[in-house]
Amino acid sequence: MTNKKEIFAGIIVIGNEILSGRTQDTNTSTLSIWLNSLGIKVQEVRTIPDSEKIIIDTVNELRKKYNYVFTTGGIGPTHDDITASSISKAFNLKYGPHKEAMALLEKYYKPGEFNEGRQKMAWMPTTADLIYNPTSGAPGFNVENVFCLPGVPSILKSMLAGIINKLIGGEPIISQTINLRTVESEISEPLSKVQYDNKDVDIGSYPFFRAGRLGVAIVLRSTEQNKIDKCNLEIIKFIKKKNIDIVEKD
């Protein structure tokens, strides 16, 4: 048994391009998997437009609900990148050129290339802590429990290692998957009983279509391997009774 308290996070995906469907969000998956590995459970994800009021209201709501909040998008050099100024207003902090960020970017660009547009990437809450960017130079930042990251997936991913030391996690969340050649209606009743008898394990069932045939993936998630093992045995027992084939087991 663990004495560590549970740690929860919220993710805010910011960008009209996500809501319009022009750009696909992959950052939520990247962040969720990474946070789970640290024992931080994502409780909520919101996708919102580039609207100052909505950003402020959403950040203020979620930062009070969860231990950590992560935003993605809206910290670039264009006119619709308003995340940094909105975060400043959410925390009632001065928005302007961040001295350390300006110095970093001045070094990053060749002489004469650090133009007005690029300087905008150094504008943020002036007292924020920087999140360093090993890919393209422009830093993210955090204020209290809110961490602001870029929307470009490869850049976001490269910046995660730089904030591990700023996070306090719980027990890492372990996941195990059992893939079955069946349909959900065939297993819903016995699976519900397993869930009822094992309330400390999160059990999900997800239909899939592979090689022209339907199947169901049962995903077991917990902070304790022995509890997953117990559920696994109970599930194997009922699927054998029903003569259901296991496609593969992770």
Query: Could you read off the pLDDT of 113-153 as tens digits, one per residue?
Result: 888 888 999 999 999 999 999 998 899 999 999 999 999 99
**What's the CATH code of the domain at 71?**
3.40.980.10
- Domain boundary residue among 166, 198, 218? 166
**pLDDT value of position 84:** 96
Task: Quickly count: other Cβ atoms within 10 Å of residue 40's Cβ.
Answer: 25
Does a structural domain hold residue 2? Answer: no
Residue 4's pLDDT is what? 57
Query: How far is the C-alpha of 127 from the C-alpha of 34, rounded, in Å?
Result: 27
Q: Where are the alpha helices (DSSP H) in the chain?
A: 16-19, 27-37, 52-65, 83-90, 99-108, 116-119, 153-159, 184-197, 225-241
Whether 243 is in a domain gets the answer: yes
Per-residue pLDDT at 214: 87
Pairwise CA distance, residues 188 & 186, whole Å: 6
> Which whole number is the average pLDDT over 210-230?
88
> Lowest-confidence range among 4-8, 83-87, 95-99, 201-205?
4-8
Q: What per-residue confidence (pLDDT) applies to 250?
A: 45
Does the residue 98 lie in any domain?
yes
Distance of CA 87 to the CA centre of its chain: 19
Read off the pLDDT of residues 202-216 as tens digits, 9 standing for 90 and up.
Answer: 999 999 887 778 899
Provide the angle, in degrees to the nearest 10, between the axes of the packed helices 83-90 and 52-65. Answer: 50
Work out the pLDDT band at 171, boundaries 50, 70, 90.
confident
The count of structural domains within the chain is 2
Q: Are residues 241 and 144 in the same domain?
A: no
Q: 3-state DSSP call for residue 20?
A: coil
**pLDDT higher than 90, residue 34:** yes
Say whether pTM exceeds 0.85. Answer: no
Same domain, yes or no: 183 and 234: yes
Q: Does 249 have pLDDT greater than 60? A: no
- Decide if 70 contacts 13 (C-beta within 8 A): no
Residues 100 and 221 in one domain: no
Which pLDDT value is given to residue 186? 92
Do 157 and 180 have their domain in common? no
Domain boundary among 116, 134, 166: 166
Phi, psi of 2 (to 5 degrees): -110, 145
| pLDDT bucket at 95, cuts 50 / 70 / 90 | very high
Residues 162 and 188 in one domain: no
Predicted confidence band of residue 3 (pLDDT cuts 50, 70, 90): very low
Residue 112 binned pLDDT confidence (cut-offs 50, 70, 90)? confident
Beta-carbon contacts of 107 under 8 Å, excluding residues fewer than 6 positions away, are none
Relative to beta strand 213-222, strand 68-72 is unpaired
What range does the domain containing 44 cover? 7-166
Domain co-membership, 96 together with 143 = yes
Three-class SS state of 54: helix
Whether 183 has a pLDDT exceeding 50, the answer reads yes
Average pLDDT of the segment spanning 25-35:
95
Question: Which residues are CB-contacts of 135 (< 8 A; sequence separation ≥ 6)?
Answer: 154, 155, 158, 159
Residue 25 has a pLDDT of 95
Quick check: is 1 in a domain?
Answer: no
For residues 59-79, average pLDDT = 94
| Mean pLDDT across 3-7 | 71
pLDDT band at 2 (very low <50, low <70, confident <90, very high): very low
